[in-house]
Chain A
Amino acid sequence: MIPRLELRSITKSYPGTVANDAVSLSILPGEIHAVLGENGAGKSTLMKIIYGAAQADSGEIYCDGRRIEAHNPAISRSLGIEMVYQHFALFESVSVVENIALAVKGTFDLGRLATEIEALSARYGMPIDPHRRVHDLSVGERQRVEIVRCLLQSPKLLILDEPTSVLTPQAVVKLFGTLRQLASEGCSIVYISHKLDEVQELCDTATVLRNGKVTGTAKPKESTSLELARMMVGSQLPEMHVSPSAPSAKPLLEVRGLSAPARDKYGTELTDVSLEVHGGEIVGLAGVSGNGQAELIALLSGERTHPRAETILIGGRPSGHLSAGERRKLGMAFVPEERLGRGAVPPHALWENAVLTAHRAGLVRNALVDRRRAGDFARRVIERFKVKANGPQASAQSLSGGNLQKFIVGRELTLEPKILLVSQPTWGVDVGAAAFIRQTLVDLSRAGAAVLVVSEELDELFEICDRLLVISNGRVSPPLIRKQTNREEIGLLMTRVGHGETRRTEVALED
């Protein structure tokens, strides 16, 4: 059989890194093919090359036996190759049907297209209302829009980039049903993931990438997790040391009945949020993104203030009205989810980025920035947290995502906070750095600090947290002891908290 898609020796380098190094793979019609690898292994780059959104430096791509010479997304679509991005390629300000109209050829007839969308989405068991604006949709619904958009083209090859990272466990089951139905109709599927269990459940073949190179091909259903993991990670998996926690008597961070309106048209309203984080423990906040995490973390960090001071207590002190700087004076530190542009200033050197939050640690004297001390501080962070960088003079934007994250985490930890807020600590960070960052968080909490981790990775939360909270639709669940709960319970809470409050929840419940 002629492969639907064949890659021969694809190489792609960006300044400083080789993202793909002589990658070859072959996918048959109707096959569900996994591209498995850790963050930073080069999966996303490879997918962009297949789709034509990025150009390979060298190598060849064949579709149905014919070579694709000059590649771009338009050519992909004419060949029947469609892609569902990890971060959706949807426009929030326009409706579902308008979004889809942008991707389909032919006359511009929104009415007819809407009918087609309804029919097709019903057929594959993922109902969507074509006339709703995308910004009113939940993340799961947005993914359906993406998939329906691809299916309208009757694709021969569908690429999905980490499709489950935004879904509840229950929604994943539904998605897999749809994908199997598609494959049985002859469509090839490229499934990009770093989650072993999913790949083993769904995929026929897996190509494993590590550091941009293919480290093996396997039949996941016949391989053990250990074999696959070894191909993915290489030598051996780092081990975590999580000692039992000894929480402080009083919480260091306390939230009492916090409600706040959505900040803009894309935001989520927070309703009656209460939580406590004690010294010596890590509390995890689980949830599908877009359910109020961003709003809650902005209110906790002080980037957004609250008129009622007593809704947020830092070390017992009413702090809702305090600015980010004033909260830092009370011993709070914060690692945000966006590194470039929020946690660090992209064009500034690392020593300058040290001043950003460490200026209180003696880096500013007589209203002047002490460059020598700032440089020393940055150098200490670089050494202690093994940041790969050309010294304190390197600009933040020149660092890889993982190294910049290590720098930001290191900077915040060097300030010896009593309370640490961390959002998505290991997003896009390679496996070694991720383990290192998780271990530092555990160590910090065991030294007596209160740590609140917001993450969409349930595995990560289960690995390091003592207690778990679930946020859904702007409401936060009561705490669950990690050792007494499981993924299914958390997954259900992701859809059940705030039950029946708004349309968004009802739709999520159908998942």
Chain B
Amino acid sequence: MRLRIEQRQEPSAQMRIAAPVIATALTFLAGSVLFAALGYDPLATLHAFFVAPINSINGLSEWLLKASPLILIACGLAVGFRANIWNIGAEGQLIIGAIAACGVGLFYPNPESPLLIPLMFLAGAGAGMAWAAIPAFLRARMNTNEILVTLMLTYIATLLLSFLVHGPWRDPAGFNYPQTALLPAAAMFEPFDYSYRLNPSIFITAVAVVIMWLFTDRSFLGYKMSVSGAAPLAARYAGFRESSAVWTGLLAGGAAAGIAGMAEVAGPLGQLSPQISPGYGFAAIIVAFIGRLNAFGIVLGGLLMSLLFLGGETVQMTLGLPAALTRIFQGILLFFLLAADFFIYYRLRLPEHA
């Protein structure tokens, strides 16, 4: 007897919600198998990976701290993804945002000015947008594939950062380490409590989530972008300009990533070094998909992904497992999620016997 795959008449609303849950469960399962294969007790390792890291107030603080940039960037990217604008260079936009914000923080004439944080915010957002404006212009005016351009620009951004911290911006008092001087206190978010690193920048993310929801679910511009994504010919038929979707999609991602970069330097980092992001820009792509390009889904996806980062760090420290596990888990999770999505539109059926 063979199972038959059949298209559903309407996409299944239950599966839409169930798919991420199933994918997460399968990822845990695959993780257990992997741990067992490596000779670790699966349950204990899963505990060490997913529970232990958030078992304390500090853990919770770190959890939110890492989830915040992921959620923020994913919100920005999802705006473009909905319109089939594939900005996969958020990592580069984050770096450029961080550079610009740090530049303002370091070189603003008055290091005690209360304007520093707002200026850095604007610099981060503006620089991220400017970096994303390059692929936007090239796609809208020059018909150039934005996937490859955003990626190439990420490599360039990484090299620019490396150049700055090894060269002109290197801290003269930094024992020759490739890093800038620490930002002045007025250029940093003040943590809620100095024992922990969580700081008010999470409110930026919270606001972004609400804006994202309003934009995609309620606004006419968001509607137009979803039409562009789902049926480009229908967008043209209705008279929606493709270039406006391209610009909006890329600039939203660039702004979000740039702000996330600013919040990183003005938050936990306090300075620039060659590695300022553990891959937030790439992980945010997965977050956007896990969250189904939907604001509240992205919040859950960001929390999950942040846990993967924390768990990877924790098992590296406590069990000596490699940090690369994080990326493996990210990949597996995305695989399962994409596969599970199939069942929103299709179902398996036993053939009926007449």
Please list the residues of chain A having a beta carbon within 8 angstroms of any beta carbon in chain B: 11, 15-16, 57-58, 301-303, 323-328, 334, 336, 338, 340-348, 352, 355-357, 359, 364, 367-369, 394-395, 398
| Separation of A357 and B8 alpha carbons in the complex (Å) | 28
Partner of B237, one of A334, A369, A395: A334
* Contact across chains for B233 and A359 when beta carbons are under 8 A apart: no
| Separation of A151 and B25 alpha carbons in the complex (Å) | 56
* Contact across chains for B220 and A347 when beta carbons are under 8 A apart: no
Q: Does B240 contact A (CB under 8 A)?
A: yes
Closest Cβ–Cβ distance, residue A55 to chain B (whole Å): 10
Q: Does B230 contact A (CB under 8 A)?
A: yes
Assuming the A-B contacts A342-B234, A356-B234, A398-B9, are A57 and B352 also in contact, with contact meaning beta carbons closer than 8 angstroms in the complex?
Answer: yes
Assuming the A-B contacts A58-B354, A303-B237, A323-B241, are A395 and B219 also in contact, with contact meaning beta carbons closer than 8 angstroms in the complex?
Answer: no
Q: Which chain B positions have C-beta within 8 A of A326?
A: 239
Closest to B6 in A: A15
* Contact across chains for A357 and B238 when beta carbons are under 8 A apart: yes
Closest Cβ–Cβ distance, residue A325 to chain B (whole Å): 3
Q: Does B317 contact A (CB under 8 A)?
A: no
* Contact across chains for A369 and B220 when beta carbons are under 8 A apart: yes
* Contact across chains for B354 and A394 when beta carbons are under 8 A apart: no
Which A-B residue pairs are the 5 nearest by beta carbons?
A325-B239, A324-B239, A58-B354, A342-B233, A15-B9
Give B261-293 as 1s and 0s: 1 = Cβ < 8 Å from A's Cβ atoms.
000000000000000000000000000000000
Chain B residues numbered 216-242 whose CB sits less than 8 Å from any CB in chain A: 218-221, 223, 226-227, 230-231, 233-234, 236-241
Most chain-B Cβ atoms within 10 A of its Cβ — which of A323, A338, A367? A367
Q: Which chain B positions have C-beta within 8 A of A394?
A: 10
* Contact across chains for B10 and A346 when beta carbons are under 8 A apart: no
* Contact across chains for B237 and A324 when beta carbons are under 8 A apart: yes
* Contact across chains for B11 and A359 when beta carbons are under 8 A apart: no
Assuming the A-B contacts A356-B227, A367-B219, A367-B221, are A336 and B238 also in contact, with contact meaning beta carbons closer than 8 angstroms in the complex?
Answer: no
| Separation of A302 and B237 alpha carbons in the complex (Å) | 8
6 intermolecular pairs with C-beta atoms under 8 Å apart: A16-B9, A345-B227, A345-B234, A355-B220, A356-B234, A394-B10
* Contact across chains for B10 and A323 when beta carbons are under 8 A apart: no
* Contact across chains for B10 and A369 when beta carbons are under 8 A apart: no
| Separation of A419 and B240 alpha carbons in the complex (Å) | 20
In this complex, how many residues of chain B approach chain A with their Cβ under 8 Å: the count is 26
Assuming the A-B contacts A346-B230, A346-B231, A356-B227, are A302 and B220 also in contact, with contact meaning beta carbons closer than 8 angstroms in the complex?
Answer: no
Q: Does B145 contact A (CB under 8 A)?
A: no
A-B contacts besides A359-B220, A368-B220, A369-B223, 11 pairs, CB < 8 Å: A15-B8, A16-B9, A302-B239, A323-B239, A324-B236, A325-B240, A328-B239, A355-B223, A356-B237, A395-B10, A398-B9
Chain B residues numbered 188-244 whose CB sits less than 8 Å from any CB in chain A: 214, 218-221, 223, 226-227, 230-231, 233-234, 236-241
Q: Which chain A positions have C-beta within 8 A of B219?
A: 367-369
Q: Which chain A positions have C-beta within 8 A of B354?
A: 11, 57-58
| Separation of A359 and B234 alpha carbons in the complex (Å) | 14
* Contact across chains for A342 and B231 when beta carbons are under 8 A apart: yes
Q: Which chain A positions have C-beta within 8 A of B237?
A: 301, 303, 324, 334, 336, 342-343, 356-357
| Separation of A57 and B4 alpha carbons in the complex (Å) | 12
Q: Which chain B positions have C-beta within 8 A of A303?
A: 236-237
Closest Cβ–Cβ distance, residue A421 to chain B (whole Å): 11
| Separation of A368 and B220 alpha carbons in the complex (Å) | 5
* Contact across chains for B239 and A364 when beta carbons are under 8 A apart: no
| Separation of A301 and B230 alpha carbons in the complex (Å) | 21
Closest Cβ–Cβ distance, residue A264 to chain B (whole Å): 13
* Contact across chains for A325 and B234 when beta carbons are under 8 A apart: no
Q: Does B113 contact A (CB under 8 A)?
A: no
Closest Cβ–Cβ distance, residue B220 to chain A (whole Å): 5
* Contact across chains for A345 and B223 when beta carbons are under 8 A apart: no
| Separation of A57 and B351 alpha carbons in the complex (Å) | 9
Q: Which chain B positions have C-beta within 8 A of A398?
A: 9-10
Q: Which chain A positions have C-beta within 8 A of B236?
A: 303, 324
Q: Which chain A positions have C-beta within 8 A of B11?
A: 347, 395
Give B1-21 as 1s and 0s: 1 = Cβ < 8 Å from A's Cβ atoms.
000001111110000000000
Most chain-A Cβ atoms within 10 A of its Cβ — which of B226, B231, B354? B231
Closest Cβ–Cβ distance, residue B345 to chain A (whole Å): 9
Closest Cβ–Cβ distance, residue B7 to chain A (whole Å): 7
Closest to A303 in B: B236
| Separation of A328 and B239 alpha carbons in the complex (Å) | 9
Q: Which chain A positions have C-beta within 8 A of B226?
A: 345, 348
Most chain-B Cβ atoms within 10 A of its Cβ — which of A302, A327, A345? A345
Q: Which chain A positions have C-beta within 8 A of B227?
A: 345, 348, 356
Assuming the A-B contacts A324-B239, A336-B237, are A341 and B223 also in contact, with contact meaning beta carbons closer than 8 angstroms in the complex?
Answer: no
Q: Which chain B positions have C-beta within 8 A of A355?
A: 220, 223
Give B334-351 as 1s and 0s: 1 = Cβ < 8 Å from A's Cβ atoms.
000000000000000000
Closest Cβ–Cβ distance, residue B222 to chain A (whole Å): 8
Q: Which chain B positions have C-beta within 8 A of A359?
A: 220
| Separation of A334 and B219 alpha carbons in the complex (Å) | 25
Q: Which chain B positions have C-beta within 8 A of A334?
A: 237
Partner of B234, one of A16, A57, A344: A344
